[in-house]
């Protein structure tokens, strides 16, 4: 059962199964009452994620096939498809056209297209989407394969242009924002222009750090404080808005 009413924060993109003690990381997020979406990078990781979050109040698992792993893991797409009916949440999925992963971009597109088609066929899925150096291509594919009434994409750690952000808004996308995104002038300018009713918070832990340690779901409080400065709001107002956005997304 989804429980947002008692949550005190939202971490809509985190990799809890990559922490040294996965079960302890889940328990800590639960104790902190952070509504946490723990994403997976391969469908082979799904069964344990699913099992450990079936009875949790605040932690939900997403079924993923990470674009950075497609070169080695594209063959797991049928496994991903078999598990899709077990969850509402999908991620981490998307495209990565950075130098390290560009060679697999065509295969990434084939996989992401299929992911979007399956989600559209199922209906009601919520996707957390990677779009490194590929925002326009990701948006093209969302527009073509995931109608607004068949699912919702949340653009995780979005680094596209302002015009691409506006296009994403028109397509019904949300944005999950972490502290790293508002450390640069460009990032702050981009976030400042996002509609406040499309913003969620995330940590992307353990791939971001706070005070020299990997970020964890409870660190979204600091993210909300940073976001508040950019938006000209109080941290409390940002927290309430993010939780309101989450409820709208999940309804």
SS3 category, 7: coil
Closest CA to 158 of 190, 125, 185: 190
How does the average pLDDT of the chain come out, rounded?
Answer: 96
The residues pairing with 60 across neighbouring beta strands, listed in sequence order, are: 37
Sorted by sequence, the CB contacts under 8 Å of residue 32 that are 6+ apart come out as 8, 9, 217, 218
Residue 118 belongs to what H/E stretch? helix 105-122
pLDDT in the model for residue 6:
86
pLDDT in the model for residue 55:
95
Q: Is the pLDDT of residue 159 over 50?
A: yes
pLDDT in the model for residue 14:
98
Closest CA to 47 of 80, 12, 71: 80
pLDDT in the model for residue 4:
75
CB-based contact 15:39 (threshold 8 Å): yes
Q: How far, in Å, CA of 136 to CA of 251, rounded?
A: 28
Sorted by sequence, the CB contacts under 8 Å of residue 55 that are 6+ apart come out as none
Taking residues 221-247, report their average pLDDT.
95
pLDDT tens for residues 80-102? 999 999 999 999 999 999 999 99
Sorted by sequence, the CB contacts under 8 Å of residue 66 that are 6+ apart come out as 41, 42, 73, 92, 93, 130
Q: How far, in Å, CA of 47 to CA of 61, rounded?
A: 10
pLDDT tens for residues 97-150? 999 999 999 999 999 999 999 999 999 999 999 999 999 999 999 999 999 999
pLDDT in the model for residue 1:
43
Residue 151 belongs to what H/E stretch? strand 151-156
Taking residues 27-55, report their average pLDDT.
98
Instruction: Report domain extents, the chain.
Output: 9-250
CB-based contact 178:159 (threshold 8 Å): no
Q: Does domain 9-250 have CATH number 3.40.50.720?
A: no
Percent with pLDDT over 90 in the chain: 97
């Amino acid at each position: 059962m989804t429980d947002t009413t008692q949550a005190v924060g939202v971490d809509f993109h985190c990799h809890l199964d990559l922490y040294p003690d996965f079960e302890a990381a889940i328990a800590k997020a639960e104790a902190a009452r952070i509504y946490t979406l723990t994403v997976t990078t391969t469908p082979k990781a799904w069964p344990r994620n699913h099992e450990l979050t079936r009875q949790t109040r605040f932690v939900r698992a997403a079924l993923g096939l990470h674009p950075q792993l497609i070169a080695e893991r594209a063959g797991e797409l049928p496994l991903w498809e078999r598990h899709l009916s077990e969850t509402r949440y999908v991620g981490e999925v998307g495209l990565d056209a950075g130098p390290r992963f560009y060679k697999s971009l065509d295969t990434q597109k084939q996989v992401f297209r299929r992911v979007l088609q399956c989600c559209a066929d199922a209906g009601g899925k919520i996707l957390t989407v990677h779009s490194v150096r590929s925002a326009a291509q990701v948006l093209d594919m969302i527009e073509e394969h995931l109608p607004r009434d068949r699912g919702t994409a949340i653009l995780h750690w979005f680094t596209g242009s302002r015009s691409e952000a506006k296009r994403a808004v028109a397509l019904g996308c949300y944005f999950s924002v972490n502290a790293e995104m508002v450390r640069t002038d460009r990032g702050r300018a981009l976030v400042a222009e996002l509609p406040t009713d499309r913003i969620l918070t995330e940590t992307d832990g353990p791939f971001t750090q706070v005070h020299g340690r990997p970020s964890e779901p409870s660190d979204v409080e600091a993210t909300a404080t940073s976001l508040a400065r950019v938006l000209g709001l109080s941290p409390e107002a940002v927290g309430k808005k993010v939780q309101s956005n989450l409820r709208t997304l999940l309804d």
